[in-house]
A and B are shown apart, each in its own frame.
Chain A
Amino acid sequence: MKAAPALLEVEHLTMRFGGLVAVNDLGFTARRGEITALIGPNGAGKTTVFNCITGFYKPTEGRIAVVHGEARMWDELEPLTRRGDRKVVHSTGALFLLERMPDYLVSRQAKVARTFQNIRLFSGMTVLENLLVAQHAPLMRASGFSLFGILGLGGYARAERAALEKARHWLDLTGLIDRADEPAGALPYGAQRRLEIARSMCTDPVLLCLDEPAAGLNPRESAALNELILSIRDRHDTSVLLIEHDMSVVMEISDHVIVLDYGVKIADGSPVAVRNDQKVIAAYLGVADDEVEAAEAEVGL
Chain B
Amino acid sequence: MSPAGASATARQAAKDAAIWAAIAFGVFIPLIGLQAVQDIRGELRLETRWPLLFSLVAVVVGISLLNSLVLAPWHERRARRAPRRNATAERLRIAFGRGFVPVAIAFVIAFPMLSLWLVGFQGSIKWIDNFGIQILIYVMLGFGLNIVVGLAGLLDLGYVAFYAVGAYSYALLAKEFGFSFFTLLPLAGMLAALWGIILGFPVLRLRGDYLAIVTLAFGEIIRLVLINWVPVTNGYAGISGIPRPTFFGIPFNASDTGFAATFGLEFSPLYRGIFLYYIILALALLTAFVTVRLRRLPIGRAWEALREDEIACRSLGIDTTATKLTAFAIGAMFGGFAGSFFAARQGFISPESFTFMESATILAIVVLGGMGSQVGVAIAAVAMIGGTELLRELDFLKSVFGREFDPTQYRMLLFGFAMVLIMIWKPRGLISTRDPSVFLKERKAVSGKLVKEGHG
Residues of A within 8 A of B (CB): 54, 56, 103-105, 107-108, 113-114, 116, 120-126, 128-129, 132-137, 139-140, 143, 145-146, 149-150, 156, 160, 164, 168, 177, 180-183, 185-186, 199-200, 203
Q: How large is the interface on B (under 10, 10 to 19, 20 to 34, 35 or more residues)?
A: 35 or more
Q: Known contacts A122-B308, A181-B442: does B301 contact A116 (CB below 8 Å)?
A: no
B309–A122 CB distance below 8 A: yes
A126 to B435, CA, bound (A): 10
A183–B446 CB distance below 8 A: yes
Q: Known contacts A121-B309, A136-B317, A181-B440: does B452 contact A129 (CB below 8 Å)?
A: no
Give the chain A neighbours of B439 by CB distance below 8 A. Answer: 126, 128, 180-181
Q: Known contacts A125-B304, A133-B301, A150-B297: does B450 contact A107 (CB below 8 Å)?
A: no
Q: Which residue of A lies closest to B453 (CB)?
A: A124
Give the chain B neighbours of A199 by CB distance below 8 A. Answer: 316
Chain B residues numbered 435-453 whose CB sits less than 8 Å from any CB in chain A: 436-444, 446-447, 450-452
B309–A180 CB distance below 8 A: no
Nearest chain B CB to A194 CB, angstrom units:
15
Task: Give 30 CB contacts A-B under 8 Å.
Answer: A56-B315, A104-B314, A104-B318, A107-B316, A108-B317, A116-B311, A120-B312, A120-B315, A121-B308, A122-B305, A122-B312, A123-B450, A123-B451, A125-B434, A128-B438, A136-B302, A136-B318, A137-B318, A139-B297, A139-B298, A143-B299, A146-B299, A149-B297, A149-B298, A149-B299, A177-B440, A180-B440, A181-B436, A181-B444, A182-B444
A56 to B311, CA, bound (A): 9
Question: Which one of B315, B317, B436, B450 lies within 8 Å of A137 (CB-CB)?
Answer: B317
A103 to B321, CA, bound (A): 12
A124–B438 CB distance below 8 A: no
A181–B443 CB distance below 8 A: yes
Give the chain A neighbours of B452 by CB distance below 8 A. Answer: 123-124
Q: Known contacts A107-B315, A136-B301, A149-B293: does B436 contact A129 (CB below 8 Å)?
A: yes
Knowing that A129-B437, A186-B447 are A-B contacts, what are 7 other residue pairs whose CB atoms are under 8 Å apart, sorted by A's residue number? Answer: A120-B309, A125-B305, A125-B436, A126-B446, A133-B313, A140-B298, A181-B442
B268 within 8 Å of A (CB atoms): no
Nearest chain A CB to B49 CB, angstrom units:
49
B294–A122 CB distance below 8 A: no
B34 within 8 Å of A (CB atoms): no
Give the chain B neighbours of A160 by CB distance below 8 A. Answer: 438
Give the chain A neighbours of B315 by CB distance below 8 A. Answer: 54, 56, 103, 107, 113-114, 116, 120, 200
Give the chain A neighbours of B293 by CB distance below 8 A. Answer: 149-150
The 9 closest A-B pairs by CB, nearest first: A124-B451, A108-B317, A122-B308, A107-B317, A185-B450, A120-B312, A139-B298, A180-B440, A149-B297
A108 to B319, CA, bound (A): 9
Q: Known contacts A139-B298, A164-B440: does B290 contact A124 (CB below 8 Å)?
A: no
B320 within 8 Å of A (CB atoms): yes
Chain B residues numbered 372-403 whose CB sits less than 8 Å from any CB in chain A: none
A53 to B154, CA, bound (A): 29
Give the chain A neighbours of B440 by CB distance below 8 A. Answer: 128, 164, 168, 177, 180-181
A54 to B437, CA, bound (A): 29
Give the chain A neighbours of B451 by CB distance below 8 A. Answer: 123-124
